[in-house]
């Protein structure tokens, strides 16, 4: 039997997220390759929802191209669900996000939602966060100082070359961290001068993870 590819597992997880929709409501939509598949699947049911609040210009363009109305986050007080991927997720629902450089807007839209549904392939489930480099959006003038602070924690921070976020800021990617207490690290790093957002989603973690596997979609509730 042919083994499913990673992309096919992403597609399966993305399609499974259609069961999380609230008919007639707005939904929050994240950013990334798995979310691209979700938006494509969502287009088959676009008349069942009012529209979407998006976390990036990339996702907004894809939503509009598929006939799905995009609303500004400032127009919305709450959302029933936010659907997004993750670069890593642990057994508590804590995540590293920001590989697609949309971490700040992702946090903003996720904060509007009652539930965060993470969609990913099974390779993203880890015992401990930190193997994937931790993204951190920073004010440019603070990049060197923030890098030194991470060095004191055993991390190696480097600017992501040629990348600015939709907010116009650079990103640091921090290698070499072993994150045993994601909530504590998120809380600390967010207090450092010049940090816009750290790509730890632990204080606002996933409520559900839909993980594509060769055997089908695995559902984890946290």
Per-residue pLDDT of 11-69, as tens digits, reads 999 999 999 999 999 999 999 999 999 999 999 999 999 999 999 999 999 999 999 99
Order of all β-strands in the sheet with 88-89:
88-89, 95-96, 200-201
Q: Which domains does the chain have, with CATH numbers?
A: 6-127+203-221 (3.40.50.1360), 134-198 (3.30.70.260)
CB 130 within 8 A of CB 177: yes
pTM for this predicted structure = 0.95
Triad 7, 30, 181: Cα angle to 5°: 90
* Residue 3 predicted with pLDDT over 90: no
Full strand arrangement of the beta sheet holding 208-213? 70-71, 51-54, 26-29, 79-84, 113-121, 208-213, 216-221
The active-site residue, picked from 88, 106, 137, 186, is: 106
The reported pLDDT for the residue numbered 2 is 66
Instruction: Say whether 8 is catalytic.
Output: no
Q: What is the pLDDT of residues 96-152, one digit of tens each?
A: 999 999 999 999 999 999 999 999 999 999 999 999 999 999 999 999 999 999 999
Per-residue tokens: 31 = 């950013």
């Amino acid at each position: 039997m042919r083994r499913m590819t990673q992309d096919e597992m992403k597609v399966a997880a993305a399609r499974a997220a259609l069961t999380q929709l609230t008919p007639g409501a707005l939904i929050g939509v994240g950013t990334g390759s798995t979310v691209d598949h979700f938006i494509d699947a969502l287009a088959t049911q676009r008349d069942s929802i009012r529209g979407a609040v998006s976390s990036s210009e990339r996702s907004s363009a894809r939503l509009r191209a598929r006939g799905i109305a995009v609303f500004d986050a400032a127009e919305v007080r709450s959302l029933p669900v936010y659907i997004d991927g993750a670069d890593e997720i642990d057994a508590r629902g804590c995540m590293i996000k920001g590989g697609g450089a949309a971490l700040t807007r992702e946090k903003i839209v996720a904060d509007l939602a009652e539930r965060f549904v993470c969609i990913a392939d099974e390779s993203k489930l880890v015992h401990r966060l930190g193997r994937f480099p931790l993204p951190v959006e920073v004010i440019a003038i603070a990049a060197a100082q923030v890098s030194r602070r991470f060095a004191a924690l055993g991390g190696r921070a480097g600017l992501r070359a040629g990348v600015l976020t939709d907010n116009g800021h650079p990103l640091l990617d921090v290698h070499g961290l072993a994150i045993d207490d994601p909530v504590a690290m998120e809380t600390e790093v967010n207090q450092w001068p010049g940090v816009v957002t750290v790509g730890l989603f632990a204080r606002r973690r996933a409520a559900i993870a839909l993980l594509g596997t060769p055997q089908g979609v695995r559902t984890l509730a946290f």
